[in-house]
Structure 1
Amino acid sequence: MENITNIWMGSQDLPFYSFIVRAILVYIYIFLMVKVIGQRSMANIDPLDFIFGVIIGDVVGETVSSGEEELTGPFAGAAMIAFLHWLLSYAGLKWPRFRRVIEDEPFIIIEKGRILDHMLKRTNITIEQLLMELRQHDTSDLNEIDYAVLEPNGNISVIKRSPFNAATAYDIGLTPQNRGYPKVVISDGKVVPENMEKIMTRAELEKGIIDHGYNAVEEIFLLTVNEADEWYVTPRLRV
């Protein structure tokens, strides 16, 4: 019991395993906090989320490496920061005018094919950075671009002129079947029963495996099936 108390309250003579336990506690605490606040895309993090991550890391990060600091204070501080973060996010959703206070608005930097140099200066984007972003969107030819917009998360969205957009099935008069969301039926040689049962029986799965040139589930690394009954199969590599 004394060891548990020392892990939470901190001590100058914490054993090695206590730091591991404290790290696990901090990780679980932050994980639960993020789940309560709500999931956001971490690939394109916005400034509000970035500030939240930096402050939370600073508040509770020290408790992982320092064995003398009590966990109660940092956890309480992190909880308050999380509450403020949630409150600002909620206010931004509730009141659009307030949203402009905490989030940047999108900026049009190319309009009807014309680069707006004053908007580049306003957003601190050099022409080289703009061209790099356009190349990453496979639009190195400026004649193809109708609009380019700097989004609040810092990415640049590109809208091409109509003649340069890829033709869709609707454009050429086709009505293909919706493929829907592919379900993972086999992962690393093991069946995912909750997904399989939604679309096929075990007998149908085994027959399909044979039809695709395999003898057993264990030979397959990944098998997905979409709503059009299209299979993607890749084998397990034996090293």
Structure 2
Amino acid sequence: MFDFWTGAEDLPVYGFLIRALIVYVYIFILVKILGQRSMVAINPIDFIFGVIIGDVVGEPLSSGDMPLGGPLAAAALIGGLHLGLSYLALKTPRFRRVIEEEPIIIIEKGKILVEELRKAKITLESLLMDLRLKDAADLAEIDFAVLEANGQISVIKKTKYDSVSPADMGQNPKSKGYPSVLIEDGHIIEANLKKYGTIQWLDEQVRKHGFRNVREVFVLTVDETGNTYASGREVKG
């Protein structure tokens, strides 16, 4: 009668259905006790918790001969440990630095911090994608960009771009379009350069931004209005 709880090699279908219902309600209650943080802001500790809980309670759903009580007890212990770590992190700032990553500034005062970008293992393409998702495709408008503890990038635009919009002024400026990368980590992207100008024109843009040559530029972009943005790189040797 209680084969759904103790397990059996020939567990009937209704036994698996009862197990699925129990596990679903159990996880629902566990998440409610732990709070929304585990679902909204996924940091490394939350990710580990989710993987372990899924593995512990998922096995009895596929193996009918496994008792259900042990995995649920183990899940309760793991949930209690996770809740305890979260509470300690909330109350103890020093301990918080151990289990939670510190925010990393990857763009500071409009300049891309190349070393921080490499430490965070973020490629230029990934950075540009995240900025576009934050409605910050124009690098020239960005003051700060921060890689937060949950892996998302937050953007702070320069003050002059956060005030009055062109629509408020009754203006209708030309669309900037999609910015193209012309220089990436000291190398020219020739396929993109052909759409906007020549090597001589690019050299002029490089010097206009205060660099002596292409090797000193980490990234240079241009939008469809011809405006360019450039940020330097560390040249070794």
Give the TM bin, normalised by the shorter chain: 0.5 to 0.7
Matched, 1:33 2:11: no
Matched, 1:87 2:84: yes
Distance, in Å, in 2 between the alignment partners of 1:42 and 1:14 is 33
1:61 to 47, 58, 61: 58
For residues 74-127 of structure 1, what are the alpha-carbon distances to aligned partners after superposition, in whole Å with 9 as ceiling and x for unaligned?
A: 011111100110011001001011001111010000000011001011111111
Matched, 1:111 2:73: no
1:143 to 118, 140, 144: 140
For structure 2, which runs of at least 5 residues remain unmatched after alignment? 170-237
For structure 1, which runs of at least 5 residues remain unmatched after alignment? 173-239
> Runs (4+) of structure 1 moved beyond 6 Å?
none
The one-letter amino acid of 2:13's match is F
Provide the alpha-carbon RMSD of the alignment.
Answer: 1.8
Matched, 1:76 2:87: no
Distance, in Å, in 1 between the alignment partners of 2:38 and 2:99 is 17
Distance, in Å, in 1 between the alignment partners of 2:12 and 2:117 is 56
Distance, in Å, in 1 between the alignment partners of 2:109 and 2:68 is 56
Shift of 1:43: 4.7
Distance, in Å, in 1 between the alignment partners of 2:122 and 2:3 is 52
Please, what TM-score do these two structures have when normalized by structure 2?
0.67
2:213 aligns with none
Shift of 1:136: 1.3
2:155 to 153, 158, 171: 158
Shift of 1:132: 1.1
Matched, 1:23 2:20: yes
Please, what TM-score do these two structures have when normalized by structure 1?
0.67
How high is the sequence identity, in percent, across the aligned residues? 59
2:47 aligns with 50
The one-letter amino acid of 1:22's match is R
Instruction: Give the match's secondary structure for 2:39.
Output: coil
